[in-house]
Structure 1
Amino acid sequence: MLEHFFQCPYCWEEISVLLDPSVSDQRYIEDCEVCCNPIEVHASFEDGELVSFEAGSIEQ
């Protein structure tokens, strides 16, 4: 597992997620551990290396 830090698109606090580099394309919803708002996470890996990461707010 790979720990990746990013800024919450709602409260701007730095938070982290655990990513599995054995899955080349990941897209899921993760709640912010500070403000509890839902964040859409998209991560892409090539040869076990993180090549793309996006974390965005979910329009409510």
Structure 2
Amino acid sequence: MFEHFFQCPYCWEEISVLLDPSVKRQTYIEDCENCCNPIEFTVAFHDGELMEFVADSIEQ
């Protein structure tokens, strides 16, 4: 697993997520561990290296 730190698009706190580099490309939704708002993640790995990481708010 790969731990990646980023800033929440809602509360602006620095949080982390665990990413699986064995999955080359994925999109999923997970709640912020601080403010509990849903974040849509788009993640891409190439040869085990993180190539793309996007954490977008989901407008409600």
- Common topology (TM > 0.5): yes
When the two structures are superposed, what TM-score results if normalisation uses the length of structure 1?
A: 0.98
Give the unaligned 5+ runs of structure 2. Answer: none
State the identity as a percent.
77
- State how 1:1-60 maps to structure 2 within 5 Å: 1-60=1-60
When the two structures are superposed, what TM-score results if normalisation uses the length of structure 2?
A: 0.98
Residue 39 of structure 2 aligns with an amino acid whose one-letter code is I
Residue 49 of structure 1 aligns with an amino acid whose one-letter code is E
Structure 1: which 4+ aligned runs deviate by more than 2 Å?
A: none
- The size of the alignment, in residue pairs, is 60
